[in-house]
């Protein structure tokens, strides 16, 4: 099975490492040629519960050089989706299936508009990973990924792909209602990412802060109401408990929004809390969005 992973961040690198270790032919697609050259000529250090190990990944920024693939996994940041299609559209179109595990509202719609809809699979992942200050990839939280059809079409490829990915070491489940799963992940991101990033620490910092937990619950409640308005009925109490469960399981993870702020990069806030604030009456999420934008404006943390 040949897999292209688009996006060299923590999740894209983690997926590439796990699947390559599992025996699949994996190429990590970057947009930065110099970075791709550095990474393809040096080892990735991966740290998890089993310790540290070194892996050499195949990395390229030349999408035109890639042949057909069985699957392209889209892991770029939500706001980089359009650029990915512009730079590497032919590579995506040569893949039999394109699976997005991106955060936020909107990336899947961008892919659906640019590609044949029956080839685009929705998804979500509950894996947690980040690069530490040394550049080591830390697999901070084990979790399941989900895959499913977003549009009607030929027989759903999701069950077969989920089985193949699981055999290769990336636990994946086929979801009959992937849109619901994606909303559940959106609620998790809304509840955790911005708040933990504003506090400036690992996700677990939320657990012993009653003020932060109160804000988390309010942010989640707004997201649940919005999901209901979109035809996805979620139970508020269950979703709050789901979010808290993810916080506990990913207590040592530095989420991607925090990592972006620390590095002075643009965050995904406009596709997370900001998307909710733009589409619904969500004052708590509007405030969280404003605070993250203020931190973006400040620049990298010292």
Instruction: Show the tokens assigned to 193.
Output: 């990412």
Q: Quick one: how far is CA 290 from the chain centroid? A: 22
3-state secondary structure 138-174: EEEECCCEEEEECCCCCCCCHHHHHHHHHHCCCCEEE
Instruction: Show the tokens assigned to 244.
Output: 């808290």
Q: In terms of residues, how long is the chain? A: 302
Query: Residue 189: which of 263, 265, 256 has the closest Cα?
Result: 256
Query: Residue 11: which of 183, 268, 291 has the closest Cα?
Result: 268
Torsion of CA 119, 185, 290, 81, to 10 degrees: -20
Query: Residue 268: which of 289, 243, 291 has the closest Cα?
Result: 289
| 186 φψ region: left (φ > 0), alpha (ψ -120 to 50), beta (else) | alpha
Query: Residue 103: which of 222, 206, 195, 190 has the closest Cα?
Result: 190
Note if 77 is an active site residue.
no
Please pick, among 185, 240, 277, 289, the residue that the annotation labels catalytic.
Answer: 185
| Per-residue DSSP letter, 286 | H
Apex CA 170: angle with CA 159 and CA 125, to 5°? Answer: 80
Q: Contact 60/27 with Cβ under 8 angstroms? A: yes
Positions marked catalytic: 185
């Amino acid at each position: 099975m040949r897999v292209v992973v688009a996006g060299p961040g923590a999740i894209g690198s983690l997926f590439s490492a796990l699947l390559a270790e599992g025996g699949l032919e994996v190429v990590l697609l970057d947009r930065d040629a110099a970075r791709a050259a550095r990474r393809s000529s040096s080892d990735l250090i991966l740290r998890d519960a089993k310790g540290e190990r070194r892996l050499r990944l195949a990395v390229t920024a030349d999408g035109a050089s890639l042949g057909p693939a069985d699957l392209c996994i889209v892991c770029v940041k939500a706001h980089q989706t359009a650029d990915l299609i512009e730079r590497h559209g032919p590579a995506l179109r040569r893949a039999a299936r394109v699976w997005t595990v991106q955060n936020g509202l909107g990336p899947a719609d961008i892919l659906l508009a640019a590609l044949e809809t029956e080839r685009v699979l929705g998804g979500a992942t509950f894996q947690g990973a980040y690069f530490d200050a040394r550049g080591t990839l830390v697999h901070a939280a084990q979790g399941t990924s989900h895959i499913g059809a977003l549009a009607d079409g030929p027989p759903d490829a999701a069950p077969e792909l989920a089985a193949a990915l699981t055999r290769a070491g990336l636990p994946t489940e086929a979801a009959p209602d992937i849109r619901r799963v994606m909303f559940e992940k959106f609620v998790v991101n809304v509840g955790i990412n911005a708040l933990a990033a504003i506090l400036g620490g690992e996700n677990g910092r939320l657990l012993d802060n009653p003020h932060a937990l109160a804000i988390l619950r309010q942010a989640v409640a707004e997201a649940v109401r919005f999901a209901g308005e979109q035809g996805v009925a979620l139970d508020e109490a269950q979703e709050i408990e789901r979010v808290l469960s993810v916080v506990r399981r990913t207590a040592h993870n530095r989420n991607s929004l925090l990592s972006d702020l620390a590095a002075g990069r643009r965050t995904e806030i406009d596709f997370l809390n900001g998307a909710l604030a733009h589409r619904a009456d969500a004052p708590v999420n509007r405030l969280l969005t404003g605070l993250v934008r203020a931190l973006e404006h400040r620049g990298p943390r010292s």
